[in-house]
Amino acid sequence: MATKKTVSKSKVFQVIRDGIVFELQAEPEGGYTISVPSLPGCISYGKTFEEAMEMIKDAMEGWLAIAREQDVPIPEQFEAIEHSANKY
């Protein structure tokens, strides 16, 4: 007799702050993976929602710094963000 294997899917939810969409996914082992869909590859992790939101700031700053160095187009909503921005 065949058995069904149940696969648990983590829900992804979005948080929008100052016009920037953040996607969070609860991880099975705990914590949250967080990404910024409009900045491909900009991803981080935090043990709590608050920590994940804090950790993504650093990832965003790094992404934007490299994009500026390499003349990669920056989405409009990020153009005014300076390297030391800490408002998210």
Contact by Cβ (8 Å): 10, 28: yes
The full DSSP string for the chain is ---PPP-PPPPEEEEEETTEEEEEEE-TTSSEEEE-TTSTT-EEEESSHHHHHHHHHHHHHHHHHHHHHTT----GGGTT--TT----
Within-domain flag for 26: yes
Q: Residues 36-66: pLDDT tens digits? A: 999 999 999 999 999 999 999 999 999 999 9
Whole-model pTM above 0.95? no
pLDDT of residue 5: 43
pLDDT of residue 28: 94
Within-domain flag for 6: no
Within-domain flag for 58: yes
Q: Which domain holds residue 28?
A: 12-72
The CATH number linked to 25 is: 3.30.160.250
Asked if pLDDT for residue 26 goes beyond 50, the answer is yes
Q: Give percent above pLDDT 90 in the chain.
A: 68
**Which tops the pLDDT comparison, 10 or 39?**
39
Within-domain flag for 80: no
